């Protein structure tokens, strides 16, 4: 409802509905961020398991070649090469998984921060409107108190921003 001086009176029910809607939206966004983090953890776990399979496969191949080969030295050298390559690949897979996890974490943090900043702006706007409504009502209340007379029995004006007891 428009008031003088570009001020508006906001219906409490509408304001509470908007606050409820914002409360419902924030947990959903947090759940989405948690889902992204879970997916990141799943990818890291998968990368580690793949690295373990590669290492195990390389070790199995080393054992098999050593047992089947008459030339033990050559087999040991090849086994070491395979093992080193498997370790390099495993390290690369884990590093890539960690980079992806870090990127997703930064995305989730940025998204949550942006959402909270928007919420802060909206809540600041609501708080300004509420304060404006209170300020609009206080002069009318003081005016009706003055009309009754300013005796010792009149109530003191309520404290601003605090709760009345």
Determine what percent of the chain falls in helix, strand and coil, rounding each to the nearest 5.
85, 0, 15
pLDDT of res. 21? 82
Ranges of each domain in the chain: 4-138
pLDDT: which is higher, 149 or 92: 92
Above 50 in pLDDT, residue 92?
yes
For residue range 54-79, what is the model confidence (pLDDT) as tens digits? Answer: 999 998 888 887 677 667 778 788 88
Q: How confident is the model at residue 14 (pLDDT cuts 50, 70, 90)?
A: confident
For residue range 19-61, what is the model confidence (pLDDT) as tens digits? Answer: 888 777 777 777 888 888 899 999 999 999 999 999 999 988 8
Q: What does the buried/exposed string (b/e) look like for 49-63 if buried means 16 or more CB atoms within 10 Å of the residue's CB?
A: eebeebbeebeeebe
Q: In the chain, what percentage of residues exceed pLDDT 90?
A: 39
For residue range 96-118, what is the model confidence (pLDDT) as tens digits? Answer: 999 999 999 999 999 999 999 99
pTM: 0.38
pLDDT of res. 1? 56
For residue 81, give the 3-state DSSP assignment: helix
Give, rounded to a whole angstrom, the gap between the first and last alpha carbons of the chain.
Answer: 29
Strand partners, 8: 2
Could you give the CA distance from residue 54 to residue 84 in angstroms, rounded to a whole number?
11
For residue range 128-163, what is the model confidence (pLDDT) as tens digits? Answer: 999 999 999 987 777 766 666 555 455 555 555 544
């Amino acid at each position: 409802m428009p008031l003088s001086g570009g001020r508006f009176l906001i219906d409490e029910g509408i304001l509470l509905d908007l606050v409820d809607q914002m409360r419902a939206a924030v947990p959903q966004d947090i759940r989405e961020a948690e889902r992204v983090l879970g997916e990141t953890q799943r990818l890291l776990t998968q990368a580690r398991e793949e690295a373990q399979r590669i290492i195990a496969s390389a070790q199995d191949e080393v054992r098999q070649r050593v047992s089947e080969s008459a030339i033990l030295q050559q087999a040991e050298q090849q086994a070491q090469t395979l093992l080193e390559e498997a370790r390099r690949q495993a390290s690369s897979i884990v590093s890539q998984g960690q980079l992806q996890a870090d990127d997703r974490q930064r995305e989730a943090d940025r998204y949550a921060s942006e959402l909270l900043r928007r919420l802060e702006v909206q809540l600041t706007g609501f708080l300004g409107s509420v304060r404006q409504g209170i300020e609009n009502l206080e002069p009318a209340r003081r005016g009706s108190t003055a009309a009754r007379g300013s005796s010792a029995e009149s109530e003191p004006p309520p404290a601003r921003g605090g709760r009345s007891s």
